[in-house]
């Protein structure tokens, strides 16, 4: 085996094509050297393992992560606008509103502001996890390129060494979490999940035969896959921790309960007299009835009325 191995690790299509070509070629070389050096009985052990590591090397795609990251940035901008513009606009419009209903709505509005901040923080956390995934994919590919280059050099070299080589994935997340070291909330949970090193090193190619160099490729490839799986587990933990922070007992913080609807017994819809421009076809409340009708209770798993007859968000209903 001579030459070099170069591939654009940021091109999903180019990477997949390279792995689809390299994997079968390496398996064929493993077979050839096993037969030439009398190691055929070991093929049943190493061939499936080599096939598996190249399957893992081919997995993962960084391009969708870019699209997801763009969508998350747009979502975060929207949440910032909700908090800094829309909710403040509502707050200003209610300055002359007084009474029990106004007080209830004031509490609700404050809860909505806090919920939007929590959403914003969660979006930052998700963005960090998506970037961590992309970083992991690219770091794995760089490690594989370095591995293949060392393998080629080993096949060409007269003497082999056993020097330790650190994996790139061991520091895949360091740059990502550096600016969030003191982050709180959902982002803090993600930083905590991604923290800590992977702690894996692999040896330089070292062997006394070409077949052993081929088996060394398998062992070192498995080391890379092991490191990737450990890093992936950190990302998965980050998603679980973030999800738990905005669901279950925390759901009320991101979807605060609606304020009570309060209408005086003497309410007369004729006195309300909204112009058609503002009524916009909505039904006019009946005399003596509520200003806004409560949803009618429904039966079945899709109902958003709890056992007390209270209207709740569908997400807050136990299915």
Residue 167 in tokens: 């994996």
H or E element, residue 164: strand 164-166
Please say whether the beta carbons of 129 and 190 come within 8 A. Answer: yes
Rounded-to-integer distance, Cα 166 and Cα 227, Å: 11
Which one-letter DSSP state was computed for residue 86? I
Range scoring the smallest mean pLDDT among 31-35, 232-236, 313-317: 313-317
Q: 128 or 1: whose pLDDT is higher?
A: 128
Rounded-to-integer distance, Cα 69 and Cα 123, Å: 10
Place of tokens 């699209």: 67
pLDDT tens for residues 178-216?
555 555 676 777 777 777 666 666 666 666 788 888 998
Residue 44 in tokens: 């049943």
Rounded-to-integer distance, Cα 207 and Cα 254, Å: 59
Closest CA to 267 of 243, 291, 246: 291
Tell me the sheet residues that pair with 164.
203
Q: What angle do CA 155, 157, 163 make, to 5 degrees?
A: 95
- Confidence band for 12, pLDDT divided at 50, 70 and 90: very high
H or E element, residue 202: strand 201-203
Q: What pLDDT score does 101 carry?
A: 78
The residue length of the chain stands at 319
pLDDT tens for residues 209-237?
888 889 988 998 998 898 888 888 888 98
Residue 30 in tokens: 């493993």
Give the three-state DSSP class for 166. Answer: strand
Which one-letter DSSP state was computed for residue 123? H
DSSP strands (E only) in 235-290: none
Tell me the sheet residues that pair with 65.
none
pLDDT at 290 over 70: no
Q: Where are the domains of the chain?
A: 63-253, 262-319
Rounded-to-integer distance, Cα 125 and Cα 20, Å: 34
Q: How far is CA 205 from the centre of its chain?
A: 35
Tell me the sheet residues that pair with 305.
311
pLDDT tens for residues 243-254?
888 887 787 788
Q: Which pTM value belongs to this model? A: 0.74
Residues 6+ apart with CB under 8 A from 76: 120, 123, 124, 127
Average pLDDT, rounded, for the chain: 78
């Amino acid at each position: 085996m001579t030459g070099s191995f170069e591939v654009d690790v940021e091109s999903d299509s180019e990477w997949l094509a390279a792995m689809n070509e390299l994997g079968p070629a390496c398996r064929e070389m493993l077979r050839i050297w096993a037969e030439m050096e009398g190691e055929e009985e070991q093929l049943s052990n190493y061939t499936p393992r080599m096939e598996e590591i190249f399957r893992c090397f081919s997995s993962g795609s960084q391009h969708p992560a870019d699209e997801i990251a763009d969508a998350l940035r747009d979502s975060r901008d929207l949440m910032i606008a909700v908090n800094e513009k829309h909710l403040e606009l509502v707050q200003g419009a209610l300055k002359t509103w007084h009474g029990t209903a106004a007080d209830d709505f004031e509490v609700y509005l404050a809860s909505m502001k806090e919920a939007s901040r929590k959403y914003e923080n969660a979006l930052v956390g998700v963005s960090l996890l998506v970037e961590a995934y992309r970083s992991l994919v690219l770091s794995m590919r760089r490690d594989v390129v370095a591995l293949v280059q060392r393998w080629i050099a080993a096949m060409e070299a007269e003497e082999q060494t056993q020097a330790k080589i650190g994996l790139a994935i061991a520091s895949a997340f360091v740059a990502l979490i550096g600016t969030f070291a003191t982050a709180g909330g959902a982002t803090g949970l993600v930083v905590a999940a991604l923290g800590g090193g992977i702690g894996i090193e692999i040896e330089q190619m070292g062997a006394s035969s070409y077949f052993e160099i081929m088996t060394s490729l398998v062992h070192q490839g498995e080391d890379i896959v092991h490191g990737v799986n450990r890093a992936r587990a950190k990302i998965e933990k980050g998603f679980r921790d973030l999800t738990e922070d905005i669901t279950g007992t925390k759901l009320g913080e991101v979807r605060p309960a609606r304020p009570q609807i309060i209408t005086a017994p003497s309410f007369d819809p004729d006195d309300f007299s909204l112009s058609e421009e503002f009524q916009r076809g909505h039904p006019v409340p009946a005399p003596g009835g509520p200003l806004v009708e409560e949803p009618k209770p429904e039966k079945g798993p899709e109902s958003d009325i709890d056992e007390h007859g209270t209207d709740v968000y569908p997400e807050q209903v136990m299915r």
